[in-house]
Amino acid sequence: MTLSKWVEYGWLRQHKTTRQEIADLLGIVDRDLSDAQTGRISTDWQFGIAYNAALKLCTILLYAEGYRAGQGLQHYRTIQALPLILGRNREVDAAYLDTCRVKRNTVEYDRIGATSDSEALELIEFVRDLRAEVVMWLQANYSELLLK
């Protein structure tokens, strides 16, 4: 499957991003990583904030490629685009983030205490690593989208 095929299905729409939009999204990622690591909030919120940072990184990838998620299942589609952009070796990461998406929905809407300290820390570490990879990918493929 390709991103252009996803457009045909209505799962994605064309999107022209800007340097400022990418900088703003990276700013959100950095804020969320910082906030998730404070230790002054519940593990559920740490997890949810770290998930938001991961979602923004996947959004940056989509935006750089010229797309945004269409209506319905936006988080799911944004996450599932990860291996289509960074390579099939990232399918495991997309599956992990989808599991995090479901868990985040549980702690956001259904009940408290559904995450552990180790799960929150694991996701925070994953996001740190993904951020570094996304920035390197941008430098290699879309350096014009990075602020100098």
**pLDDT tens digits for 61-115?**
999 999 999 988 999 999 999 999 999 999 999 999 999 999 999 999 999 999 9
Closest by Cα among 41, 53, 39, 47 to 116: 47
pLDDT of residue 58: 98
Does the structure show a pLDDT above 80 at 36? yes
Residue found under tokens 């900088």: 23
Does the structure show a pLDDT above 90 at 44? yes
Domain annotation for the chain: domains and CATH numbers: 15-145 (1.20.120.330)
What is the C-alpha separation between 109 and 140, in angstroms, rounded? 39
Closest by Cα among 15, 14, 16, 18 to 26: 18
E strands within 28-144? 67-69
Which secondary structure element, helix H or strand E, spans residue 12, and what is its range? strand 12-14
Using an 8 Å Cβ cutoff, are 86 and 137 in contact? yes
Does the structure show a pLDDT above 90 at 40? no
Predicted TM-score of the model (pTM): 0.96
